Amino acid sequence: MKNEKQAGQLAVTDPDMGLIDSIYARHSVRGYLEKEVPQDVMNRIFEIAQQAPSNCNVQPWKVYVASGELKDRLRRQMVEATAGGLTPNPDYPYRGDFQDEYRTRQVECAVALYSKMGISRGDKEGRMRAVLRNFEFFDAPHIAFLGMNPAFGTTVAIDVGMFAQSLMLTLVAFGLHSCPMGTMRNYPDMVREAFQIEDGTKILFGISFGYEDPDVVANETRTTRDDISANIVFRSS
């Protein structure tokens, strides 16, 4: 399907990349070019992502996309807060006490990333720089904060996750990349203030996105996936 804007406006043409190719091409990008995504392209991408499924079609996701000066202000605020040791106050507590095979995968991911970045296990300064890169949004031109009404629980939060996956795969299809970021839950009050959110929306996580910078070594990081037998059980009786 193709979508063309009228004359006088920047044309938006849906890409030809298929779903399977988008799934395999998607990876977390931690370095972007100084190039903003045209607004009509973003509109089309989010229009496609809006087709994500949800329980009873309630479409619970609330998405706040910061660009330009607002994005820069949030970046400064979050970097200063993190570097200054301000205690995070997430709306939803993060439980990262991974054990057994989950811990193994977590460590393998960290080793793969830090090795590409030249950060050794004992390099505290290097690790702190890596942490701050999150709050610099990895220099992405855009950062999306995803949240939902506080009346919803974890079951509906799954719907927000399905929207996020739809969004990230659509970004890839349009030649863009992203990085889902749990750290964007750390300072939700800053997000609410920036977007003048007054309906009590709680922030779950964020997604930085834009055009990948191929010269950033962190972007060379790749992780592996286990055989489906590690996660999937098929039975017929």
Q: Which of 49-53, 94-98, 194-198 has the lowest mean pLDDT?
A: 94-98
Share of the chain above pLDDT 90, in %: 73
Residues 54, 60 contacting (CB under 8 angstroms): yes
What is the 3-state secondary structure of the chain?
Answer: CCCCCCCCCCCCCCCCCCHHHHHHHCCECCCECCCCCCHHHHHHHHHHHCCCCCHHHCCCCEEEEEEHHHHHHHHHHHHHHHHCCCCCCCCCCCCCCCCHHHHHHHHHHHHHHHHHHCCCCCCHHHHHHHHHHHHCHHHCCEEEEEEECCCCCHHHHHHHHHHHHHHHHHHHHCCCEEEEEHHHHCCHHHHHHHHCCCCCCEEEEEEEEECECCCCHHHHCCCCCCCHHHCCCCCCC
pLDDT at 133: 95
Over residues 70-84, the mean pLDDT reads 97
pLDDT in tens, 196-206: 999 999 999 99
Over residues 186-204, the mean pLDDT reads 97
Number of structural domains the chain divides into: 1
- Of the pLDDT bands very low, low, confident and very high (cuts 50, 70, 90), residue 2 is low
The answer to the question of residue 103 being in a domain is: no
CATH code, 88: 3.40.109.10
The answer to the question of residue 76 being in a domain is: yes
pLDDT at 130: 86
Output the average pLDDT for the chain: 92
Q: Which domain holds residue 55?
A: 19-93+135-223
Which residue in 194, 109, 82, 86 sits closest to 147, CA to CA? 194
The answer to the question of residue 219 being in a domain is: yes
The answer to the question of residue 7 being in a domain is: no
Please tell me the distance from the alpha carbon of residue 228 to that of residue 212, in angstroms, as a whole number: 29
pLDDT at 123: 83
pLDDT at 10: 55
The answer to the question of residue 8 being in a domain is: no
Over residues 110-117, the mean pLDDT reads 82
Please tell me the distance from the alpha carbon of residue 51 to that of residue 42, in angstroms, as a whole number: 15
pLDDT at 126: 82
The answer to the question of residue 229 being in a domain is: no
The answer to the question of residue 33 being in a domain is: yes
Over residues 37-44, the mean pLDDT reads 97
Distance of CA 64 to the CA centre of its chain: 12
Share of the chain above pLDDT 70, in %: 95
The answer to the question of residue 53 being in a domain is: yes
Which residue in 191, 196, 210 sits closest to 145, CA to CA? 191
